[in-house]
Structure 1
Amino acid sequence: MKLFSLKPVTNSYDMVEWDILSFSEKIQPMLPPNQDACMFLLDIHMNNDSLLEYWPQSYELSFLPGYLKDNYDISIMDGFIALRMNAYEALKDLLAPLGEFIETKADGEPIVIFNLRTFGQEDEVKCEREYLDGYPLDYIKIAFINDDVKNKPVFKSKFTGGSRLFCTDKFKSAVEDNGLTGVYIDEDLDNIFSN
C-alpha cells in the first residue's frame, strides 16, 4: 500500500470564494455561547469538529473566476475538499465513512464541501520534527502506521494540525479511474508544496 499527500494543483484557484470572517458571523449565533466562531473555524480540523450542524440553511457560495477557467472537479481548500457533483458521485461511497458532506451551491450550481473527520495514526518513530533553539516547530518528516490507515482512503494528521490531507492508493485510483481533475496526489508526504 502506498500513501500520498493530497494537494491543490499548482497555481490553481480554490473552487469557491469563502469569506471565513463573514461566514463566522453567520454561524456565531448557532455555536455554544462561550465559543468564538473565528476560533472554531481556525481549529476545526485539529479539533475534528462538525461543520454540518452549524452550516446556515440556504447558505450559498460563489465560484472563483479562475477556478471556472480551469474547470476542475475537485478543490483542496485549507483542509476541506470541495466537490462538483460528478466528483461527489464518484467518491461519495469512499468518503462517506470518513467525514461529513455539506451540500450547498456555488452560483446556483450544486456542490459539496467535504469535512474530513478521520485522523491517521502517525508512526512517531519515523516522524521527525524541526526545532529552533530547542523549541519545537513543524514536522519535516511524516509517516503513518500502515495497519491504522489501510482502511482510511483519506485521512489527516494531528502532527500537521489536521489541515494537511493524505490518502491511500485506493483514493488515488478512484480519482484516476473517474478522470477527476483539480487535485495533485504526491508521493512525497513531507513536501508541503504542490507540483
Structure 2
Amino acid sequence: MSPPGANATLVAHLSEAGKPVLDAFVNDVSKVPAGRSRLTVRHVAAAPAVDVRADKKPVFKDLANPKQAKGDVAADSVFADVVLSGTDTVAIGPAHLNLAEGTNTVVYAWGSTKDNSLALKTQTLTGMHSAPREVPAGESGRAAEHNESVPVGALALAGVSATAVVLLARKLRTRH
C-alpha cells in the first residue's frame, strides 16, 4: 500500500504463478545528482527471479515478482536485458534505454514465460535535476589563450557610456 498523496503507479499484472494482481509502486521523484539518472526496474512478469543487466553488466540481481530495484547511475545510453537469475540466459531484450540526466527511467519486465510473451515497457519521470557542483567557464582551450582580452559585454557597456557622456555634454553646451 502506498502512503496517501504519494507519487505512485498502479500496475495490473500477473503474479509469478500467473494469477492477475494489482500492485501500487511508489515512484522515487527525489533529486538526482548532477550528471546522473535514476534507473528503477519492476518485475511484474509471470516468471522466476531475474538479473537485470546494462551493457551486459549486472545492475540488479535476484529481482523477484512483485519487487522493484533502483539506483542512481551515470546518465547515458545503454542496452539493457533481463536474464534468468544467476545465468546468462536472456529472457527479455536487449533494449535500448536513454537514461537522461535528472530523470527516473522505470522499466517494467512484464508478460508470461508460459505464454512466451515477456517484454519490457518504460516510463520516464522527469524534473529531478539537482544543482550542478560546477559550471565550465572557459578555463581551457582557446578561451584560456585569450584571457587577457576585454569581454565583449564590457566593450559594449563602455561604448554606450561614452555615447551618453557625449550627448549629455552637447545638451549642456546648447543650454549655455
Flag whether TM exceeds 0.5 (same fold).
no
Name the TM-score, length of structure 1 as normaliser.
0.26
**Which of the two has higher C-alpha Rg?**
2
Name the TM-score, length of structure 2 as normaliser.
0.28
Relative contact order (alpha carbons < 8 A, sep ≥ 6): 1 or 2 greater? Answer: 1
